[in-house]
A and B are shown apart, each in its own frame.
Chain A
Amino acid sequence: MSTAQTNSRANRMSVGDFAREYGVLVIIAVLLIGLSLISDNFLTARNLLNILNQSAPLAIIACALTLVIIGGGFDLSTGAIFGVASVSAGWIAINVDPYMAIFAGPLIGLLLGAVNGIIITGFGVHSFLVTLATSLVYRGIAILVTDGSLIPVRIAEFSWLGRGRIGVVNIAVIVLLAFMVIFMILLNRTTFGRRVYAVGGNEEAAILSGIRTNLVKIMTFSLCGMAAGLAGVIAVSRISMAEPQAGTGMEFEAIAAVILGGTSIMGGAGAVWRSVAGVLLMALINNGFNILNVNPFFKDLTTGVIIVIAVALAASGSRRR
């Protein structure tokens, strides 16, 4: 019986299996072709780079969130960490040193992420609940830092990160690509990556293989916090303004992108490239609606419908296991 299933799987890479495996890429390709046929302004290096540049902060968060989700966790605090990192970086850039601010954002994010991880593993509470609670706390901290007001940050030594270019390529895009490559290597080439998959796939088996599963989880949440911090710094540097409410709702966009890419919400399976593809897909839909000048209401509606379809496709695949 089991051998029969194995054979049937090997013999049959059907359209359905292909769609499940590479669905997000197929939809991106369809959108790319469709949009370039509809509009002459779409398929230009400038527009495409612009899309990447706009998506860089979200994509950075999605890359790291992939590790959390593969590890069987969930992080609802990335938006709030983004906010804390934004205002902290803004304050430090003005009052201390702009270069230090660039490093301080990710570092603060790392610490807040570590706090998430330590609470989750220390008390054995589900990450969903813990990060829901800490997101409120962190957002409160962001408001306390600025007293609720905005901090304008117009310093060249700081804004190069979000606004600068090397040649035609935005520095933020280069940071994103570097970040993505580092996370791909981390997940696929290192012992840490293996452990993340094992912890999410079967925690008991991981424990009985001598893996310090709590440490692995704390590390995934720390990395996710760091990514949210870096994303916050890039955003502040770009708009030259630090605001405590920055990044509100971003945690859901990041989760949507990871799921859209095809990483399993059940943990144990997924890939970093998938999440970046998920972000790009959402950005393309956004861009398409802007180009076509359609009522923005349809944008959210379309994104929502596509997420439902993607999740349903993935579920129909996993049901066979």
Chain B
Amino acid sequence: MTGTDIAVRVRGVAKSFGGTRILDDITIDFKKGSVHALVGENGAGKSSVGKIVGGYYSADEGTVELFGQPVTRFSPRDALGRGIAMIHQELQLVPELTVLENVFLGLESSTGGFLRKGDLDRFHALEETCDFGLDPNRRIADMRIAERQKVEIMRAIARDAQVIIMDEPTSSLTEDEADRLHQLIARLKARDVTVIYVSHFLDHIIANCDRVTVMRDGKVIRTDEIAGETKQSLVDSMLGQASEIIWPALPAAPAQNMPPVVEMQNVSTATGLSDISLKVRPGEIVGLIGLVGAGRSEVGRALFGADPITEGSYAVNGQSQQNGRLSVRSAIAQGIALVPEDRRKQGLVLTQVTRPNISLASLGSIASFGFINKARERERTQRMIDHFGIVPGKVDGEVAFYSGGNQQKVLLSKWAVEKPRLLILDEPSRGVDIGARQRIHEFIVEMAAAGVAVLLISSELEEVINLSHRGYLMNDGRIFAEADCRTLTVEDALNRIFQEQGSAPRIKEVPQA
């Protein structure tokens, strides 16, 4: 194999942080024009490999070669100059600037420092390659995560990157958006661009990558062609032992005549919901099934009192709530809990340690006359740490430095420490490793078995369908159908959603991607 077929060659790379070895003897060849997946549990080191190639970390040992040229000291800026772009899990855009300004940040058309017109034409040219349908004049701050990610990708392509590292690119995308991203990756590949694809989504990897490197505990387990791999074969290598992806068994659904914990009738909100009618009974897991932008999170927020209801009626435990008057505070007092979508921005207080984070929503129950009973608080925190297997297991651990899965477990603890009546979970397993994901799924079932009503929101249709008794299909701020999730399939659900959108043909394009 000559050096020219290899875009990036990593040889014997090791990296340690403060005595902990996170990468050990990593040797991988990334072939030019191939889509190369890195898989492994969180902490296996796959993102770190991406960061070494992208110039964010420098290797302690070993060498990195780009197109046959060895690399020594190397910053993200140098990497970009040599055609390597990294798209991060935490996106790096300027929120106050527009899409256009972000895409061409540092590459603006200018004469002697003065901006010229012309970026818009360049943007449209770029849009032909990408086909994202983004409005160049929108402010990043007003955009959802999925759209921001597209901007990041355009930014890499605008820099004519030859190697693009994508760290969890589909974790905040819907199935449909992920398909479009994969079509784009196919087009990039046709232009001989190399894509390093770090992901937890094995289905996406099997369908879209050429080669795969499986990692475990900072080491490469194996690198192979994707042909012949199955989800099971990858999972086995990742975990080091044969195991199955199993969905926990759901408890029996409650009787139809059981009074619901929450019931909405013809509810509308200023956040774009219209005519929402739903109910969730004790011990029942109800899924909201729809694409990003369908209004799933907004339903959760309306139930939680975070967004006011403008029309319709809403009853909690049979008590009618006055429209526009329900506060988050009174929703919590009535036993409603919401685990929000973005755990770092909406869920956790990262300047604080585990204990106060877990206590934050239930301070009243561990305090008398406003004074916190610290012994009780510690005991209660320890109980949740043991229950979820949070690592590190310290009561006063620095949550800011925890892995995604453990941060999510802290957030779930916050709402489970006092048993709620209705638990709303918005993307509970986004960006967490397989082990944590399994634990979170078990937790959902545990809660239902204990009589808690659960409303589950997830972009991963397989997850929401397999973990729910009943589901509501959503599109464009409305619920257009109700389904029994025990008989519903992912294909069924997608077809019905696309039909509702009036864009049913789109799904037929998928196999061509």
**Using a CB–CB distance below 8 Å, which chain A residues touch chain B?**
1-12, 189-192, 194-195, 197-198, 200-202, 204-212, 264, 267-269, 321
Contact = CB atoms under 8 A, between A and B. Distances in A.
23 contacts: A2-B42, A2-B401, A4-B43, A5-B401, A6-B397, A8-B18, A8-B20, A9-B398, A11-B19, A190-B371, A194-B359, A194-B360, A194-B363, A197-B356, A198-B349, A202-B346, A208-B304, A208-B306, A209-B328, A209-B332, A210-B361, A269-B352, A321-B400
Nearest to B402: A2
Contacts, number: 130
* A interface SS class: helix
Given A2-B403, A7-B17, A194-B359, A207 B328 contact: yes
B360 A198 contact: yes
Given A189-B372, A191-B372, A201-B352, 7 more contacts: A2-B42, A2-B404, A3-B391, A9-B18, A189-B374, A205-B360, A268-B349
Contacts of B403: 1-3
- On chain B, which size bracket covers the interface? 35 or more
Contact of B18 (A11, A210, A211, A264): A11
Given A1-B47, A191-B370, A209-B360, A6 B398 contact: yes
Given A5-B401, A205-B347, A12 B18 contact: yes
B367 interface: yes
A200 B351 contact: yes
Contacts of A8: 17-20
A205 B372 contact: no
A321 B352 CA distance: 12
A208 B43 contact: no
A198 B352 contact: yes
Interface in B9-55: 16-20, 22, 42-43, 45, 47-48
Contacts of B400: 321
Nearest to A318: B351
B364 interface: yes
Contacts of B47: 1
A2 B352 contact: no
Q: Which 8 A-B pairs have CB atoms at the shortest separation, nearest pair first? A: A8-B18, A268-B351, A201-B349, A201-B351, A2-B403, A210-B332, A191-B363, A209-B361
Contacts of A10: 392
A206 B345 CA distance: 10
Given A1-B22, A210-B328, A212-B329, A198 B356 contact: yes
Contact of B349 (A6, A11, A197): A197
Interface string B113-140: 0000000000000000000000000000
Given A5-B401, A189-B371, A205 B363 contact: no
B370 A206 contact: no
Contacts of B414: 209
A197 B45 contact: no
A208 B337 CA distance: 9
A74 B374 CA distance: 30
Interface string B384-402: 0000000110000110111
Interface in B305-336: 306, 327-329, 331-333
Contact of B401 (A9, A194, A205, A209): A9
A206 B349 contact: yes
Given A6-B401, A8-B19, A11-B19, A190 B370 contact: yes
Contacts of A1: 22, 43, 45, 47-48, 403
Contacts of A205: 345-349, 360
Contacts of A189: 371-372, 374
Given A190-B367, A191-B372, A208-B306, A3 B43 contact: yes
